[in-house]
Chain A
Amino acid sequence: MNFKKLLAPNKMYGLSFLGLALTLFTSCDPDETQVVTNFTTITMQDEFDVAGAPNSDVWGFDVGRGTNGWGNNEMQYYTDRPENVVVEDGMLKITAVSESYQGAAYTSARLKTQGKFEQKYGRFEARIKLPWGQGIWPAFWMLGSNFDTVSWPQCGEIDIMEFKGQEPTIISGSLHGPGYSAASPVTKSFELTNDRFDTGFHVFGIEWGEDYINYYVDDVLYNQITPEDADGEWVFDQPFFIILNLAVGGGYVGAPSNATVFPQEMLVDYVRVYAAE
């Protein structure tokens, strides 16, 4: 089992993380008004080192097509089959396949920690190599744990990373809540200057505390969202759970084209969560 709830910081990791933190401060020079924190106490990590199905202590699945393609007219049918989701070679592999399945033209997978791991505040990060191509829509995001009782968008949604396969150098980080959701979230894009997201691994993360969420790609802090930015109630003061998914089609990216190559793989090297402290 890779899943660990660590009561004390991993010393080795703490050291290397300190190095990263120093780099952060010296290289990105964040705006003075931003609150920059660096959390070091791991509360959950999955390094995806044990081959087979994802660790069921951490991950559950959404299966099927949802309502209206999960609210976005997505075109895939989500399964928990190894063809669509498996841990191997030290990676979580989510694979979008072009195949006729249960009335859908594509299959893929969506993993979630709902009911298994939820946390309020802290650092949430994943190291991911993204898939690519028109109509490919991978995401690393979170929903408020009261999702089932208050429904969306009241529960809040933190999109740590969303990506359009047809824009291989750009990701977005967004916040959805009551009054600022769907097509009008609080959002910001980040573009790599001389690199792309589908040819190597990048770390996507947020640091979330009381009244702020900081967005990172690798060692770059590229956005901070505070209650002043939200045109509505700030609902990010309760536990959230994590979602990793690879959608095909949908309003955000449009349908795949003839040039879209299948299968497409979203490779996740690790997911790590740190306590806010």
Chain B
Amino acid sequence: MKKFKFISYFTFATVGFLTIALVSCEREFSEDITLATFPTIPEVFTDAPVNLTDEFFVSFDPADGANVNGFDTDSDAYKGTQAIKIDVPAPNDPDGGFIGGIFLDRGEGRNLTEYTALTFWAKGSTTATVGLFGFGTDFLGDKYAVSIEDTNLSTSWRKYIIPIPEASKLVQEKGMFIFSAGTQSTGNLGYSIWLDEIRFENLNTFGQARTEIFNGNDETRTLYNGDFDVFGVSQTVNLGDGTDIDLNIASAYLDYHTSDPTVAQVANGVIAVVGAGSAEITASINGVEATGSLTITSKGVFISAPTPTHDAANVLSVFSDTYTAAVSPTFEPGYGGSTTKFNLASSNNNEFAAYTSNNWTGIEFTSSPINATEMTHMHVDVFVESASTSIEFQIRDIGTNGKINTNVFTGQPNSDDKDYRFQASGLTPGQWNSIEIPLAGNIANQKNNLGAIILAGGPNFILDNIYFYKN
């Protein structure tokens, strides 16, 4: 048995590759350009990896729990002399509780445009459900990833088919295969998977592809200019035995249409909202319309918060493009039970902090607390969409021990901590509200170690220009 070299998760920069990919894969070519063609070899693994190096297996990151010890070959083959054998670990395995990774073409990639499906033979040491099989994941952007979930394995060899949604896209593919397996279906008992005869094929026994975007719904979004990803893309294909198979497919397989390119455009699965107005986004694949649409109503460019006017000499800034920051705050402290979604975003080169579904979170700067003894107020600009938004700002002095001390039962400051709580409500929606919070109450006489601004409630709001000042 041959042990393949284990190569850990890719992290190196891939800017050069991505640039090449954009040039070679993305543009529409005129008829008279002859494309460089990459190898069209269909086999991925027969008795050995085909046209791949010994380092063809790239595991998921062990830091995420991937076990790298269970990947091997075995003489129990469907055909020929060797198959791949994968030992799926139990969840409490100290070396990692699941196994998975990709088979990577480390060369220039393959031209798979003449094939219609990835096929392979597989069996299990027991009947088991494998979390993921697929192709197109290359750990280099996964642009044309396709996968099937929860595949049932039998204890005898069976052939599995994963259709290629639109093979003309795969002119230079490096992601030959992906799998991920745990023991969810076996009551946490480890088991083995054998894989053999992994190859791309020109099969025509499947058809009737039905593709969904936006989860097949007619969605609407009201928002400001900016970029966001196409979501909810999937495809169902009828196999030759009459059963349907559900595929997760990358959004880049689809061709997109916008009813108004001055409002929204789509490229590479990213929707760019570029102007005020309404536009409907639809998509097709192989000339067949996908189910689902997204109607975007853009309010245009998001208006930046007003530029603060306080003299920089009288300001200790936490977050603002106007002033030099006094601290490097943490925006995602990871409080237990927090439902908050946080995004740092920008408009007109002006950064702002966007919160959605907030119950509690905080902006922490405990490692270098602010001595605000000289300061009298905290300024914050708040933008809300709803007049009912109500946010509590808790300005916390963390005392001299350098830690946030909170009574877990009451949520009140403990030990050497003090705070001042200010409820911001009655805010005007659709515009920035500038709020001046006095450094009062329990911190009026203890504000030399300000270490956090706790944010409770909301739930949806945008903040900018958070700083302490005196007049």
Chain A interfacial positions (CB closer than 8 Å to B)? 132-134, 165-169, 192, 194-196, 198-199, 259, 261
| 0 or 1 for each of B201-228: is its CB under 8 Å from A? (1 = yes) | 0111111101000000000000000000
Query: Inside 8 A of A134's CB, which chain B residues have their CB?
Result: 242
In the assembled complex, B235 has its CB within 8 A of some CB on chain A: no
Residues of A within 8 A of B150 (CB): none
Complex alpha-carbon distance, A259 and B204, angstroms: 21
Among B202, B208, B210, B241, which residue has its beta carbon within 8 angstroms of that of A198? B208
For residue B127, CB closer than 8 A to chain A, the reply is no
Sample 11 A-B pairs with CB under 8 A, ordered by A number.
A132-B208, A132-B238, A166-B242, A167-B241, A168-B207, A169-B205, A169-B240, A194-B202, A194-B205, A196-B207, A199-B208
Q: How far is the CA of A93 from the CA of B8 in the complex (A)?
A: 57
Q: Name 7 extra pairs, CB < 8 A, besides A132-B238, A192-B205.
A: A169-B240, A194-B203, A194-B204, A195-B204, A196-B207, A199-B208, A261-B208
Chain A at the B interface: mostly helix, strand, loop or mixed?
loop
Q: Closest B-chain residue to A193, C-beta based?
A: B205
**How long is the Cα–Cα vector from A199 to B163 in the complex, in angstroms?**
15
The answer to whether B244 has its CB under 8 Å from any CB of chain A is: yes
| B-chain residues with CB within 8 Å of residue A167 when the two chains form the complex | 241-242
- By Cβ-Cβ distance, the 5 closest A-B pairs, closest first, are A166-B242, A199-B207, A195-B204, A169-B240, A194-B204
In this complex, the interface size class of chain B, counting residues with CB under 8 Å from chain A, is: 10 to 19
Contacts of A261 in B (CB 8 A): 208, 210
In the complex, what residue of chain B is closest to A192 when comparing beta carbons? B205
The complex places the Cα of A28 from the Cα of B241 at a distance, in Å, of 25
Which chain A residue lies CB-closest to B239?
Answer: A168
Assembled-state Cα–Cα distance A168/B203 (Å): 14
Give the residue name and chain of the A residue nearest to B243 (CB). A166
Please measure, in the bound complex, the distance between the C-alpha atom of A199 and the C-alpha atom of B238, giving whole angstroms. Answer: 11
B204 contact set on A, CB distance < 8 A: 194-196, 199
Contact A168–B242 (Cβ < 8 Å)? yes
Contact digits for B163-197, partner A, Cβ 8 Å, 1 yes 0 no: 00000000000000000000000000000000000
Contact of B240 among A133, A165, A168, A259 (CB under 8 A): A168
Instruction: Tell me the minimal C-beta distance from A66 to chain B in angstroms.
Output: 27
List, in ascending order, chain B residues with CB within 8 A of A198's CB. 207-208
Nearest CB on B from A88, distance (A) = 19
CA A192 to CA B240, docked complex, whole Å:
10
Closest B residue to A194 using CB positions: B204
Closest chain A CB from B167 CB (angstroms): 15
Given contacts A132-B238, A261-B210, contact A196 B244 (CB under 8 A): no
Residues in B neighbouring A195, C-beta threshold 8 A = 204-205
